Structure 1
C-alpha cells in the first residue's frame, strides 16, 4: 500500500525529526514517533519480546483519524496531557477506543474518567464503551441512566455487545422492582 499522498502536518515535540517510526492515519497524515516512548507507554505499539521495531522508511498505516492519533500520541510524551473535557462525545469515544486498542495506559485512564462524566448525556455510548472495556462503575451508572430512554434506541445502540444489553436490562429490572414511596 502506497502512502505517497500522505502529508505531514504534525509539529514537534511529538512529530520529531529523529523519531524512528512513521505512522499514517486513515486520512493520510503522517506521525513520526519515538519507539522508546511507545514501548514505555503502550502495550499495543510495543513489538513482541525478542523482536525489534523496523527502522526502515516504512510507513505503518493505522485505521484511526489524525485528530484521534494526535491526541493519543500526546499521551506517550513527557508533556502536559490534552484536556479531554473540550472534546465532543464522538471524539472522546474514538480516542477511548484507540487507547484501549493500543493499550496506551495514561490515555485509557483519562478516557475512562471522562466517560464517567459523559454518561449523563450519552448513557448508551458510555454503557457500550464501559462494558466492552471493563469499567463496571461507569457501565452501572450509564445503565441506570439509560433506563429512562426509549428502549428501541438503547437496544439498537447496544446490539454489538451482549454484556451492555444485559447490564441495561438488569437496571430496568432493578428500577421497576424498587417500591415507590
Structure 2
C-alpha cells in the first residue's frame, strides 16, 4: 500500500492504492494497477513500475486525471456534459491517449451533440481520432472561418491544407450555385452518398452546407497528417 499524501482518489472506492499518478501540475492521484490494466491500454503496466512508492509522471492536468480515474472503476461515471471550457476536450484527448474505452465513448457522444459550441476544436478532435460523424457535422460549420483562425484551431499544416481544399470548394459553390457534393465528386478522393447528391442538386448554398454529409472528410484530412 502506498503511503504518499494524495490530493485525489476515487470517492467510495475501497481498493487499496498501489500506484500514484502525478499530474503535470504536480498533484498526486491514487490509482490501482489492476484497474489501469483492466480498463485501459495506455497507462504504464505493473512491470514498468519498479517502485510503487514513486509517482508516475503524466502530462495531463490533475482535474482531467481525477475525472478519468472514475472510468477505470465499477462506479457511476461523472456527467461529462457538465464540463466547461477546455475540460471536456482535455478529458476526451486523455481518454484516447490511454485507451479508456468507456470515457472515449462518453466524451465522443457528448462532443457530437455539442459541436456547434466549438466546431473548430470538434473538427480537430474528430479528424485526429477518426470520428467521421463528428467531422461530418463540424466541417460545414467551419467553412467560412478565416485561414488564420483555422490554422490556430487545427494546429497542423496537413490538416489545414486539407481543410483549405474543402473551403475553396465551398466558396466556389457559393458563386456557381452548385452542390458542394457534386464538386467534391471530381476533385477529392471520396464520394458523397448518391442519395445526398440527388437530394441536394439545385439547393441553395446555405441548405447544402447545413445538410450535406461530408462522407470521407475525416479520412481525407487524416491522410494529410
Shorter-chain TM-score bucket reads 0.7 to 0.9
Q: Kindly indicate whether the alpha-carbon contact (under 8 Å) linking 1:127 and 1:138 is maintained by their aligned counterparts in 2.
A: yes
RMSD: 2.6
Please name the residue that 2:53 is paired with.
Answer: 57
Name the CA distance, whole Å, in 2 between partners of 1:137 and 1:108: 14
User: CA deviation digits over 1:106-156, x for unaligned, max 9?
Assistant: 111111111112211101000001100110110121011112433431233
Count of residue correspondences: 174
Shift in CA distance, 12/159, structure 1 to aligned 2, threshold 3 Å: closer
Pick aligned residue for 1:34 from 22, 32, 51: 32
Q: Secondary structure at the match of 1:154?
A: helix
Structure 1 window deviating more from structure 2 (132-141 vs 153-162): it is 153-162
Name the CA distance, whole Å, in 1 between partners of 2:59 and 2:168: 36
Shift in CA distance, 155/52, structure 1 to aligned 2, threshold 3 Å: closer
Name the CA distance, whole Å, in 1 between partners of 2:168 and 2:65: 37
Q: Kindly indicate whether the alpha-carbon contact (under 8 Å) linking 2:10 and 2:66 is maintained by their aligned counterparts in 1.
A: no
Shift in CA distance, 88/172, structure 1 to aligned 2, threshold 3 Å: farther
Greater helix percent: which structure? Answer: 2
Q: Secondary structure at the match of 1:166?
A: helix
Q: Secondary structure at the match of 1:157?
A: helix
Q: Kindly indicate whether the alpha-carbon contact (under 8 Å) linking 1:143 and 1:168 is maintained by their aligned counterparts in 2.
A: no
Name the CA distance, whole Å, in 1 between partners of 2:161 and 2:121: 12
| TM-score for the superposition, normalised by structure 2 | 0.68
Please name the residue that 2:209 is paired with.
Answer: none
Larger Rg: 2
Q: Kindly indicate whether the alpha-carbon contact (under 8 Å) linking 1:14 and 1:77 is maintained by their aligned counterparts in 2.
A: no
Shift of 1:16: 5.7
Gaps of 5+ in 2: 180-201, 205-225
Please name the residue that 1:3 is paired with.
Answer: none
Please name the residue that 1:149 is paired with.
Answer: 145
Name the CA distance, whole Å, in 2 between partners of 1:61 and 1:14: 25
User: CA deviation digits over 1:72-125, x for unaligned, max 9?
Assistant: 111001111010111114111111111111111111111111111221110100
Name the CA distance, whole Å, in 1 between partners of 2:164 and 2:82: 28
Please name the residue that 2:19 is paired with.
Answer: 21
Please name the residue that 2:77 is paired with.
Answer: 81
Q: Kindly indicate whether the alpha-carbon contact (under 8 Å) linking 1:17 and 1:32 is maintained by their aligned counterparts in 2.
A: no
